[in-house]
Copies of this chain bind each other. A is one copy, B any other.
Amino acid sequence: MSINSFGHLFRVTTWGESHGPALGATVDGCPPGVPVSAEDLQVWLDRRKPGQNKYTTQRREPDAVEVLSGVFEGVSTGTPIQLMIRNTDQRSKDYGDIAEKFRPGHADITYWQKYGVRDYRGGGRSSARETAARVAAGGVARAALDSLVPGIKITGYMTQMGPHGIDRARFDWAQIEQNPFWTPDAQAAEDWAGYLDALRKSGSSVGAVIEVAARGVPAGLGAPVYGKLDTDLAAAMMSINAVKGVEIGEGMAAAALTGEANADEISMGPDGPVYSSNHAGGILGGISTGQDVVVRFAVKPTSSILTTRKTISKSGEDTEIITKGRHDPCVGIRAVPVGEAMMACVLLDHLLLHRGQVGDGPRGNIG
């Protein structure tokens, strides 16, 4: 019911604003005995950290995570794990302009209209900084998944930057860690570098599409109707700020297919059912098939650009605004580890839900 929480049994509540003293995640429902440490979580946070190359915001935050509870002698105790990240790079500056004017494409105006009060410093709660807490929580989820489903592998990557998509024929898992865009297409990485550099210099921004694939997911996770794995993945990804579209498997393109083209045929393999294709994105009727679970989401371009835009002030006067400061030309880059974290949280949550209702492992055998 809570509006800042996510998950059924593995339940994450994030808190904190961009320019407050700290932000973090309260992680409830982690299985006991999972190895958790600040060092291990830091690895994931470092992937999302700003200021790592010229393509991301130059805000410099160490994003050092502290584990305040729920871990004893190196393992989770089954009680709430509190993860805190101090905000350190809160430059004292004059916020007058954004305190009085609403930035187009930002949450400024709606927060104001809804609440009648808003923390205008850096976007407050609607800032992309909120996603640091998700990545920390996702690190806990990954550790638990590693314990419970050895071999599960969650990988995010960029498949489109602005209008430029990757060529699936060049898809290479090994490339993903080799370029600043986390793209599996080496050629695209090269092309995008120049494209984004020009965009950055012009003070503009652009959107992106991120895909997250989970390999090694057992069959049977998810549940019918409102607990469909697709439902929770859609909610998880759409809850990331700036995301405006989510697709499972074939996604929006499924609309154009015939039943013959879309349905993945089944045959019997040595270890169980084998599918001729994966239009379904690894999910049928809301439940995992054992194929790769594939979700994709679009991140809109950040509205913080150097071009003057028309807007209004709190007092209702027409005016203009330019958003100066340190911003990501393609905020989608840093959304890759965030998408991975959300996938990890959803899968762990459904693993625990399945174990709760049905017990360990799938229940119906084939063959």
Q: Enumerate chain B residues within 8 angstroms of A254, measured Cβ to Cβ.
A: 207, 244-245, 298-301
Q: Enumerate chain B residues within 8 angstroms of A288, measured Cβ to Cβ.
A: 110
Q: Enumerate chain B residues within 8 angstroms of A276, measured Cβ to Cβ.
A: 310
Give complex CA distance A159, B191 in Å.
Answer: 34
Q: Are A318 and B111 in contact (CB under 8 A)?
A: no
Give complex CA distance A254, B297 in Å.
Answer: 10
Give complex CA distance A66, B163 in Å.
Answer: 46
Question: Any chain B CB within 8 A of the CB of A69?
Answer: yes
User: Which of B13, B234, B262, B365 has a CB less than 8 Å from the CB of A301?
Assistant: B262
Question: Any chain B CB within 8 A of the CB of A149?
Answer: no
Q: Are B244 and A251 in contact (CB under 8 A)?
A: yes
Q: Are A310 and B104 in contact (CB under 8 A)?
A: no
Q: Are B111 and A287 in contact (CB under 8 A)?
A: yes
Beta-carbon contacts under 8 Å, A204-244 to B: 204-209, 219-228, 230-235, 237-239, 241, 243-244
Beta-carbon contacts under 8 Å, A75-134 to B: 75-82, 84, 102, 104-119, 124-126, 130
Q: Enumerate chain B residues within 8 angstroms of A248, measured Cβ to Cβ.
A: 238, 244-245
Question: Which residue of chain B has the shortest Cβ distance to A265 in the bound complex?
Answer: B310
Query: Interface readout for A296-323 with B: 1 if CB under 8 Å, 0 if not?
Result: 0011111111010111101111100000
Q: Are B265 and A364 in contact (CB under 8 A)?
A: no
Q: Enumerate chain B residues within 8 angstroms of A23, measured Cβ to Cβ.
A: 68-69
Question: Which residue of chain B has the shortest Cβ distance to A260 in the bound complex?
Answer: B307
Question: Any chain B CB within 8 A of the CB of A340?
Answer: no
Question: Which residue of chain B has the shortest Cβ distance to A105 in the bound complex?
Answer: B263
Question: Any chain B CB within 8 A of the CB of A50?
Answer: no
Question: Any chain B CB within 8 A of the CB of A325?
Answer: no
Question: Any chain B CB within 8 A of the CB of A156?
Answer: no
Question: Any chain B CB within 8 A of the CB of A268?
Answer: yes
Q: Are B304 and A259 in contact (CB under 8 A)?
A: yes
Q: Enumerate chain B residues within 8 angstroms of A51, measured Cβ to Cβ.
A: none
List 15 contacting pairs A-B, 8 Å CB cutoff, sorted by A.
A1-B11, A2-B227, A13-B26, A78-B358, A108-B285, A110-B286, A111-B224, A112-B364, A113-B362, A162-B257, A235-B238, A255-B298, A259-B303, A259-B305, A263-B309
Question: Any chain B CB within 8 A of the CB of A32?
Answer: yes
Q: Enumerate chain B residues within 8 angstroms of A263, measured Cβ to Cβ.
A: 104-106, 303, 305, 309
Q: Enumerate chain B residues within 8 angstroms of A230, measured Cβ to Cβ.
A: 238-239, 243-244
**How near does chain B come to A256, taking the closest CB pair, in angstroms?**
4
Q: Enumerate chain B residues within 8 angstroms of A337, measured Cβ to Cβ.
A: none
* CB contact under 8 A between A77 and B117, given known A225-B3, A262-B207: yes
Question: Any chain B CB within 8 A of the CB of A169?
Answer: no
Question: Any chain B CB within 8 A of the CB of A21?
Answer: yes
